[in-house]
Amino acid sequence: MKPKTLLKLLLSGVALLTLVAAAAFLWISSRGISARAEPGRIETAVARTMRGLAVPRRDRTRKNPIAVTPEVLAAGMAHFADHCAACHANDGSGETAIGLGLYPKPPDMRLPATQSLTDGELFYIIENGVRLTGMPAWGDGTKESAEASWHLVHFIRKLPTLTPEELQQMQGMNPRSPDEVRQELEEQRFLEGGDAAPPKPSAPKHVHGR
Ligand code: HEC
């Protein structure tokens, strides 16, 4: 090939790339980068397939090694209410202020898309998290952490059939600020016939509460 032709080819390549980059920039800047948006069906399907493929085969086919007992489910429930409900909600719907503001959002874990994942896949996701999403890795490589994650796998299987009583029980296990605990104690004292009316919380109620 003549040097002149090569130069022409190179220049048109650069021009094409610049055009594509400019179009992509215009497309993104016209839509913004809001995390409030909902990923499209294709994006979700591709991301889930890629994530599935990223779980090593050996891990995917693992069965929960811990037998399900009331104690195991209770431990899973307490752990979920404490560490997971901020994003996933006590009922697994993902409808919390944080969950709804993430991109991608935590899925409704009661639905078949999550329930059809294998024990091994659920365990792997809990232990290792999901890159480029809000889902953190919880495992630290210890036996204790693995045990806690298997408890959570059992609890996730129970999400579709949680009773209103169990959900109420979980509300009592959700993390609370010292101010909220103080106010609850004061309210209890007031209701039991104490003198002082419950004080207002010292921090003003913030507007981001949903
Ligand atoms: C900071 C927010 C956040 C917290 C806290 C969190 N998660 Fe997640 N989780 C997410 C997001 C976002 C996704 C979706 C990831 C994706 O799209 O692949 C997710 C996905 C998952 C999935 C995969 C479900 C599916 O069908 O794709 C499981 C299982 C899961 N989380 C379990 C847990 C458990 C158990 C805990 C607590 C130990 C927890 N998560 C804590 C944000 C969170």
Going by pLDDT thresholds of 50, 70 and 90, the confidence category of residue 210 is low
pLDDT, tens digit (0-9, with 9 covering 90-100), for 58-87: 999 999 999 999 999 999 999 999 999 999
Going by pLDDT thresholds of 50, 70 and 90, the confidence category of residue 94 is very high
User: For the CA atoms of 122, 128, 62, 58, what is the dihedral angle to 10 degrees?
Assistant: 130
Q: What's the token pair of residue 44? A: 């979700």
Phi, psi for 8 (deg, rounded to 5):
-60, -45
Amino acid identity at 80? F
Q: Of 52 and 195, which is predicted with more confidence? A: 52
Tell me which residues have their CB closer than 6 angstroms to ligand 1.
51, 83-84, 86-88, 98, 102, 104, 106-107, 109, 113-114, 117, 122, 125-126, 130, 133-136, 138, 152, 156
Residue 196 has pLDDT above 70, yes or no: no
CA nearest to 162, candidates 81, 45, 48, 100: 81
Distance 88 CA to ligand 1 centre (A): 7
Going by pLDDT thresholds of 50, 70 and 90, the confidence category of residue 138 is very high
| Alpha-carbon gap, residue 113 to 193, rounded angstroms | 51
Q: Which atom of ligand 1 is nearest to the CA of 102?
A: 12
pTM reported for the whole predicted model = 0.86
- Span 140-148, mean pLDDT? 96
pLDDT, tens digit (0-9, with 9 covering 90-100), for 13-54: 999 999 999 998 898 888 888 999 889 999 999 999 999 999
Residue 112 has pLDDT above 90, yes or no: yes
- Domains contained in the chain, CATH given: 41-171 (1.10.760.10), 177-202 (no CATH)
Residue 199 has pLDDT above 80, yes or no: no
